[in-house]
Amino acid sequence: MAISNPQVKEEFDKYDVRLGKAFDHLKSEFLSVRAGRANPQILNKITVDYYGTPTPLSQMATITVPEARMLVISLYDVSMLKEVVKAINASDIGINPTDDGKTIRLVFPMPTEERRKELIKQVKKTAEETKVVLRNERRDVMDTLKKLKKDNVITEDEIASYEKDVQKLLDKYIESVDKLLKDKEAEILEI
Q: What is the mean pLDDT of residues 12-28?
A: 92
Q: What is the pLDDT of residue 88?
A: 86
Q: How confident is the model at residue 22 (pLDDT cuts 50, 70, 90)?
A: very high
The b-or-e profile of 118-153 (16+ CB within 10 A means b, else e) is ebbeebeebbeebbebbeebbeebbebbeebeeeee
Report the mean per-residue pLDDT for the chain.
Answer: 87
Using the predicted structure, report yes or no on whether residue 170 has a pLDDT greater than 90: yes
Residue from 31, 10, 20, 7 nearest 134 by CA: 20
Return the DSSP state at 76. Answer: S
Using the predicted structure, report yes or no on whether residue 1 has a pLDDT greater than 60: no
Q: How confident is the model at residue 175 (pLDDT cuts 50, 70, 90)?
A: very high
pLDDT tens figures, 151-163: 888 888 888 888 9
Q: How confident is the model at residue 17 (pLDDT cuts 50, 70, 90)?
A: very high
Q: What is the mean pLDDT of residues 127-146?
A: 94
Q: How confident is the model at residue 172 (pLDDT cuts 50, 70, 90)?
A: very high
Task: Domain 6-32+112-189: give its CATH code.
Answer: 1.10.132.20
Q: What is the pLDDT of residue 24?
A: 93
Q: What fold does the segment set 40-107 form as a domain?
A: Gyrase A; domain 2 (3.30.1360)
Q: Where are the domains of the chain?
A: 6-32+112-189, 40-107
- The phi and psi torsions of 71 (rounded to 5 degrees) equal -115, 140
Side chain identity at residue 141, one-letter code:
V
- On whether the CB atoms of residues 69 and 36 are closer than 8 A, the answer is yes
**Which DSSP string corresponds to 55-68?**
EEGGGTEEEEEEET
Q: What is the pLDDT of residue 179?
A: 96
pLDDT tens figures, 25-71: 999 888 777 666 777 877 888 888 888 888 888 888 888 888 878 88
Q: What is the pLDDT of residue 174?
A: 96
